[in-house]
């Protein structure tokens, strides 16, 4: 005997309609969504149904309600929200352990698949990173460092790896700000990121993977635990 399928409730239907607006890009990241009254009129349902649907999407992380200011799109992918929440609970060492796998594969693939546009974006991130270091701007340095690694991941031409790395970008940014990455860049003692760019540019997959691993070993050491 099969289970009897449950007919979707009004709230379920509203949730599906709101989620579709986000998934199709009708409501983009950072957009303020229409008011409860407007949504209720458009969908032909009660404001109570809209309010409950919005509450569910706020809980899932797709929307955020700002008291007295409305409701905004804060994410477009619930799987990315789940990953971000998991990373928020993870320790720095756990994140480095995961990055070992991702960074090595990304660097190796980027060396064989990168395009001229990829190399241009990687170089720009390096230039921004160097400028932020000279200005002692930790926030800008962290942003540029994250951009550098994201562009390496994007150059791999592997959409799964790229999306995983994008999901880790906030955790990566926090780790860069917490460690001594900017200090080493300012001292001129650490050229590993420039070396990684050169290996990717030269198409040397082995060197790119080795340098990516060395970057993480250095970060792990700065975090207070000797490299394995």
The pLDDT, as a whole number, for residue 198 is 97
Residue 105 to residue 201: CA distance in whole angstroms: 16
pTM score: 0.63
**CA triple 87-91-94, angle to 5 deg:** 80
Q: Is the pLDDT of residue 98 over 90?
A: no
Per CATH, 10-76 and 80-222 having the same topology is answered no
Q: Structure tokens of 56?
A: 């569910």
The pLDDT, as a whole number, for residue 6 is 45
Count of CA atoms in the C-beta half-sphere (13 A) of 101: 6
Domain ranges of the chain: 10-76, 80-222
Residue 216 to residue 205: CA distance in whole angstroms: 17
Q: Structure tokens of 23?
A: 């998934």
**pLDDT confidence tier of residue 51, bands split at 50, 70 and 90:** very high
In tens, the pLDDT along 197-225 reads 999 999 999 999 999 999 988 877 665 44
Q: 1.10.287.110, 2.60.40.3680, 3.30.420.40, 1.20.120.530: which CATH number matches 80-222?
A: 1.20.120.530
Residue 94 to residue 223: CA distance in whole angstroms: 12
In tens, the pLDDT along 153-166 reads 999 999 989 888 88
The pLDDT, as a whole number, for residue 75 is 81
Which CATH class for the 10-76 domain? Answer: mainly alpha
């Amino acid at each position: 005997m099969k289970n009897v399928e449950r007919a979707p409730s009004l709230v379920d239907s509203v949730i599906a309609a709101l989620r579709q607006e986000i998934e199709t890009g009708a409501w983009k990241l950072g957009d303020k969504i229409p008011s409860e009254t407007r949504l209720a009129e458009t969908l032909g349902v009660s404001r109570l149904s809209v309010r409950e649907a919005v509450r569910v999407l706020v809980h899932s992380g797709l929307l955020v309600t700002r008291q007295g200011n409305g409701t905004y799109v804060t994410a477009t992918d619930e799987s990315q929200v789940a990953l971000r929440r998991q990373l928020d609970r993870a320790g720095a060492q756990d994140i480095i352990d995961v990055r070992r796998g991702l960074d090595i594969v990304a660097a190796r693939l980027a060396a064989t698949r990168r395009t001229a546009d990829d190399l241009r974006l990687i170089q720009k991130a390096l230039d921004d990173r160097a400028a932020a270091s000279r200005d002692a701007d930790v926030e800008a340095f962290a942003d540029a460092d994250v951009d550098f690694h994201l562009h390496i991941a994007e150059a791999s031409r592997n959409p799964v790896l790229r999306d995983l790395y994008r999901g880790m970008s906030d955790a990566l940014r926090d780790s860069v700000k917490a460690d001594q990455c900017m200090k080493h860049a300012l001292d001129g003692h650490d050229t590993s990121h420039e070396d990684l760019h050169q290996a990717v540019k030269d198409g040397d997959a082995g060197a790119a993977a080795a340098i990516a691993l060395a970057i993480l070993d250095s970060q792990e050491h700065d975090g207070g635990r000797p490299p394995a």
